[in-house]
């Protein structure tokens, strides 16, 4: 999602009002008001909500100050996301192409700053939090956190996030995900997710994942 956001910001022509309206729509920061299932900042925002409710209460007992730092970073990321979404919509009010281009440059700079902060935060989670959880908690507990997060998603939000997740997986990850889905999910869910994967995952990778899982 971050890579896609960066690419779209770099290539958007802010002089083109109609194209910029599409970008602003996809930069909504709230699933409840978003007009697009491809909303970028919606998915990023729920990264914090779900971690803090499902994982952080347990992690805080063994984290030696790590969890408060991660929560502080979540708040900073949320502030940045809201500001970017608001600035994107305010940009549409600029009457002239020259003004929109100048505002687009400033918006692009804010997005770049968000990317730096987000990658730093995610790397901290991967390098510090994930090993801590693996050391301190059994696989069953970690699986329960994951299941709790998935259950908390309304179906439309889950499918919107899967539309980002599935094409971001390499073929081994995708095959493992689909295999687990076949074992654990009811047939209508398997059908819905595999149809989504067929539409979103590049052809050769999808063909290999299907071959490995017997779909």
- Tens of pLDDT, residue by residue over 130-148, are 999 999 999 898 888 888 8
pLDDT more than 90, % of the chain: 57
**Better-scored residue on pLDDT, 206 or 184:** 206
Pair 165, 201: CB distance under 8 Å: no
97: left (phi over 0), alpha (psi -120 to 50) or beta: alpha
pLDDT in tens, 179-194: 988 888 889 989 999 9
Q: What is the DSSP letter of 67?
A: H
3 state SS of 196: helix
pLDDT in tens, 47-70: 787 888 888 888 888 877 899 999
What local confidence, expressed as pLDDT, does residue 42 receive? 76
Per the prediction, the chain carries an average pLDDT of 88
**Would the pTM count as exceeding 0.85?**
no
147 C-beta neighbours (distance < 10 Å), count: 12
What local confidence, expressed as pLDDT, does residue 134 receive? 92
Q: Which token pair is 75?
A: 């708040």
Q: How confident is the model at residue 44 (pLDDT cuts 50, 70, 90)?
A: confident
Q: Which token pair is 175?
A: 């095959």
């Amino acid at each position: 999602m971050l890579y896609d956001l960066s690419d779209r910001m770099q290539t958007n022509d802010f002089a083109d009002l109609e194209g910029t309206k599409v970008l602003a729509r996809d930069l909504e920061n709230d699933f409840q008001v978003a007009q697009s299932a491809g909303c970028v900042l919606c998915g990023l925002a729920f990264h914090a909500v779900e971690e803090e409710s499902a994982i952080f209460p347990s992690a805080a007992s063994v984290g030696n100050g790590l969890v408060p730092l991660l929560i502080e970073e979540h708040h900073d990321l949320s502030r940045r996301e809201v500001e970017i979404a608001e600035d994107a919509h305010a940009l549409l009010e600029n009457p002239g192409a020259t003004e929109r281009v100048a505002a687009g440059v400033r918006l692009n700079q804010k997005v770049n700053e968000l990317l730096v902060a987000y990658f730093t935060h995610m790397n901290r989670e991967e390098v510090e939090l994930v090993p801590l959880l693996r050391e301190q908690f059994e696989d069953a507990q970690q699986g329960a956190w994951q299941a709790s997060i998935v259950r908390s998603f309304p179906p439309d939000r889950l499918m919107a996030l899967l539309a980002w997740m599935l094409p971001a997986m390499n073929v081994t990850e995708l095959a493992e995900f689909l295999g687990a889905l076949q074992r654990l999910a009811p047939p209508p869910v398997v059908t819905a997710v595999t149809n989504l994967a067929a539409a979103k995952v590049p052809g050769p990778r999808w063909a290999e994942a299907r071959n490995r899982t017997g779909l």
